[in-house]
Structure 1
Amino acid sequence: MGTAGLETQPSATTYDLEDLVANAWAGRIRVPHFQRDFRWVTQDVLRLFDSIVKGYPIGSLLLWVRDSPSDTLTLGRLKIDAPAAADTLWVVDGQQRITSLANALHPEGHQHAPFSVYYDLAARQFVPQPKLREPQHIPLPVLFDLEKLIDWFAGEGRSAAEHFKEAQRVAKVLRQFKVPAYLVRQNDEKILTDIFDRMNNYGKRLSRAEVFSALFAGPEEGARERLSLSLIADHVADRTGFGTIDDDTVLSAILARRGPDPARDIRREFELAGRRTALEFPDEDRDTAYRLGEEALVRAVEFLQKEAGVPHLALLAYRAPLVVLTRFFAHFPHPEPNSLRLLRRLYWRLAVSGPAVFKGSFTQVGRVLSARIKQGDERASVGGLMDAMADARPTVPNADRFKTNEATAKIVLSAWWSLQPRSLATGKPFDAQDLTALLADQTTAATVAYRIFPRGLSPRQHLLAANRLFLPTEDDPVNELAGAIARRPVGVDEAQWALVLASHNIDPAMVRALDRGDHAEFLSRRQEVIAGQLRAFLERMAEWDYEDTPSLDSLDLDEVDELAE
């Protein structure tokens, strides 16, 4: 470890929050490209403003003072035309806080989550954007601007005039809140990234993807035009409707495409010298690897959606198969139909077996399976993948414990999706767009798997899959599901209603049990039907009783004939 460091000690200062935000809006505060992407959610932003009003410390900033050219910046949701300056402040530590403050207090940034924060003057607390605005709900950009605040109470907020003094108090605290900062003057960018790495490795460590992004960030110039792991995740979500894959999985997928071990050391990924194993795409630079990695990841996702029956990330049992599939589709973008069938078996056998068949973690699963994929030989690769699952045995997960963050529930939901669940209000089947619209970038299906009986059950009954309905809708009567199941809606005929009930594993006997108020009978009968449907679904998808051999058209029959002679 060398002794070279900062040429001068950091200087300490404080900013009034009003001045800090004004600097950000003017483009005098910038975020270097080696920073991690913005990751705060609404509750984090609310907690920040609550701490400020309560006078709690929110931590100091570390700002890098340097010359900067004119540029068009992106800060959260804000687009800023920044002039050239000799003393621009680049954020080494404090990006989440500065981005949240600058956006939540700006009229444009405030329009977007997670920055749509209001102050409830009556309850004296910060709240996310209310579904129904009341007079006491004042937007932060109005509260922060004295002139707008006075105009607001003279107009829209006239009926909340009794809370004017509270508004004045909070506005004054916001504008005058002191934010401590250290200013570093240093021209060597490597020292700044070293400081960033050390600061973020004390306490909560950087993720592997964050370290990789910082190591291979490239120069500041042109950074916004280059792909990043987060941008790849956004592109895949936009192109497929699958949801937003986490950066670590995106990184593993990109690494798997380039070599058989997605868990390898990342620090020399784009260096040829000093490697233990050769890469399969040795001449690629970072940008090419990212671009082609995105394409392979999209093909893997589309396979899951179209062939394996997994419509959304929230229904993906484990992430490791996605990494392995990315490697396969990178090498074989247009596989044979028989390969697709075998890959479908592979996914579902792995989904129900978990990592136990490999006697290790899913890191080991990714390594073992990725190593079976051989560049240039599709059939050998598929055969190797199936051979690796030879010890997997037919099994059906127990649907007695349904928790949407666990693999069993995700498998059950995929089985239900294969039934094309229908709306209890219209009788029409839901489609993938309905699912994507409601799940967005969520990683569990909690918001579309509603409890039929929210209360009044034993702990065991409460956890049954039979107590859930898969409804990706905002229109169905989700707050009174038991009644909705028992009553056919106007405009839906009996034949169509029978299809609706069957699409949710419900039969007439269960409806009669509901009519009698016999919840236990309903759950017992439906749990049996769910178990049977799940077993049939897995038999169809995993094809346990089929030989995992090449199809007839993949055999070299001329060679067979020669051997027979």
Structure 2
Amino acid sequence: MTPTPPGRLETSCQSLEDLGAWLASRDFGRLEDDALPMLLLAVHGRDFTRDFREEFAAEDDWAPALARTAHAVGRAFAFLREDAGIPHLDLVPRPDALPLLCRFFHLHPQPPLAARLRLSHWLWRHALFDSSRSSPDPAALALLTPDADGSVRALLHRVGPPPRGWERYSQPGMAGLASVADRVEANALLALKPRHLLTGAVLEPGPLLEVQGAVAFLPLFPPPLSGGAPPPGPGSDLLLTLANQVFHPVLAPGRSLLGLVRTGVTPPVVFPSHALGPDALAALRQGDGAAFLALRRDALVTHIRAFIQARTGADSEGDASIPEE
């Protein structure tokens, strides 16, 4: 049972359960139950891998602790959406970054824009290049000090610059949301601001992910049934990759995504928002599905490389986000 503190907060939170419900109301997704104690501990500079009950006693004054946590997590969510370009909690590439983000925004409620940019670079570098650390690391809390810029530079220095050869990224996988790579590629696809194939309206990722989850990444060509191997034939190896997927609501019975793309009903402004180039569309309308998938894969590879470069700051001149030795 989560201890219930006395009094009420401006966020109307009286317990961790209330805090979780309040955060869920911010339209960014719902935290797992076990994440809330971790974030509360991290915000207060405590070892967030320890048993929550060993760090906070039932008789502690909970109201200030919950208020501080609510404010810090709310700011971290805003940073993820507005600075890091991540539209939903399910798309955070590595959730183990959340405790550090929340501690940072507790110490620095309004950090300078330059620090926010570098913090975004750290988030993406940690996700893509920091393979040596695969679990939450409370030792990194010591890097976060009253100096906002120094704190972010210390985090970046710990991860290091993008490694040589990162740009050899070659082929997008399947856009589920289970792995770090899945979530990175899903974010890259959403950075194109996908539009509805019928109306042309820009899709809101958060609400669609809330309703459909990973199923929001729909196949164009039917994938193999029951998880079996793709059928033999040209392009079959691409049926289970992002080349065969678009981010879109499920259509009404009798309509298909592939049919909409093929028939020309879709407004032209929609196609670039799904990485559907003129050559790929021409191949599709000529009945060459293999060429369509190969061309779309190539377009996605180019886009995802540019996305990684921009998000990690790998295109920054002299990699200015890393401190001088």
Shared fold, TM over 0.5: yes
Q: 1:477 to 1:348 in 2, by over 3 A?
A: farther
For normalisation by structure 1, the TM-score amounts to 0.50
Would you say the 8 A contact 1:450–1:478 is kept in 2?
no
Higher relative contact order (CA 8 A, sep 6+): 2
Alignment of 1:311-350 (within 5 A): 311-350=87-126
* Match of residue 203 from structure 2: 430
Q: Distance in 1 between matches of 2:288 and 2:315?
A: 39
Aligned pair count reads 305
Name the structure with the higher helix share: 2
* Match of residue 378 from structure 1: 148
1:117-151 per-position Cα deviation (integer Å, ceiling 9, x unaligned): xxxxxxxxxxxxxxxxxxxxxxxxxxxxxxxxxxx
Q: 1:429 to 1:441 in 2, by over 3 A?
A: closer
2:255 is equivalent to residue 468 of structure 1: no
Would you say the 8 A contact 2:5–2:15 is kept in 1?
no
2:288 is equivalent to residue 522 of structure 1: no
Q: Distance in 2 between matches of 1:378 and 1:478?
A: 55
Cα drift, residue 548 of structure 1? 3.8
Name the structure with the higher strand share: 1
2:310 is equivalent to residue 533 of structure 1: no
Q: Distance in 1 between matches of 2:94 and 2:322?
A: 27
2:244 is equivalent to residue 244 of structure 1: no
Would you say the 8 A contact 1:423–1:476 is kept in 2?
no
* Match of residue 362 from structure 1: 135
Cα drift, residue 264 of structure 1? 3.2
Secondary structure in 2 matching 1:447: helix
For normalisation by structure 2, the TM-score amounts to 0.84
Q: What letter is aligned with 2:141? A: S
Would you say the 8 A contact 1:237–1:243 is kept in 2?
yes
2:314 is equivalent to residue 544 of structure 1: yes
* Match of residue 227 from structure 2: none
1:290 aligns with one of 55, 60, 66: 66
Cα drift, residue 401 of structure 1? 4.0
Alignment of 1:262-277 (within 5 A): 262-270=48-56
Q: Distance in 2 between matches of 1:549 and 1:470?
A: 33
2:85 aligns with one of 309, 314, 319: 309
Q: 1:441 to 1:238 in 2, by over 3 A?
A: farther
Pairwise CA RMSD? 2.8
Q: 1:309 to 1:290 in 2, by over 3 A?
A: same
Q: What letter is aligned with 2:83? A: E
Q: Distance in 2 between matches of 1:296 and 1:285?
A: 18
Secondary structure in 2 matching 1:482: helix
1:171-227 per-position Cα deviation (integer Å, ceiling 9, x unaligned): xxxxxxxxxxxxxxxxxxxxxxxxxxxxxxxxxxxxxxxxxx2xx3469x99xx752
Q: Distance in 1 between matches of 2:107 and 2:85?
A: 23
- Aligned-pair identity in percent equals 28
1:411 aligns with one of 176, 181, 184: 184
Q: Distance in 2 between matches of 1:263 and 1:441?
A: 32
2:222 is equivalent to residue 454 of structure 1: yes
* Match of residue 275 from structure 1: none
Alignment of 1:131-280 (within 5 A): 213=2, 216-217=3-4, 227-239=14-26, 241-259=27-45, 261-270=47-56
Cα drift, residue 460 of structure 1? 3.2
Larger Rg: 1
Q: Distance in 2 between matches of 1:476 and 1:335?
A: 46
1:143-169 per-position Cα deviation (integer Å, ceiling 9, x unaligned): xxxxxxxxxxxxxxxxxxxxxxxxxxx
Q: Distance in 2 between matches of 1:477 and 1:415?
A: 29
Q: 1:390 to 1:550 in 2, by over 3 A?
A: closer
1:437-469 per-position Cα deviation (integer Å, ceiling 9, x unaligned): 232287xx4221001111464473232110100
Q: What letter is aligned with 1:303? A: F
Q: Distance in 1 between matches of 2:253 and 2:105?
A: 42
1:24-79 per-position Cα deviation (integer Å, ceiling 9, x unaligned): xxxxxxxxxx3xxxxxxxxxxxxxxxxxxxxxxxxxxxxxxxxxxxxxxxxxxxxx
2:217 is equivalent to residue 440 of structure 1: no
Cα drift, residue 505 of structure 1? 0.4
Would you say the 8 A contact 2:40–2:66 is kept in 1?
yes
Q: Distance in 1 between matches of 2:291 and 2:121?
A: 35
Q: 1:392 to 1:535 in 2, by over 3 A?
A: closer
1:510-541 per-position Cα deviation (integer Å, ceiling 9, x unaligned): 11211222211111110111010001011111
* Match of residue 270 from structure 2: 500
Secondary structure in 1 matching 2:274: coil
Secondary structure in 1 matching 2:214: coil
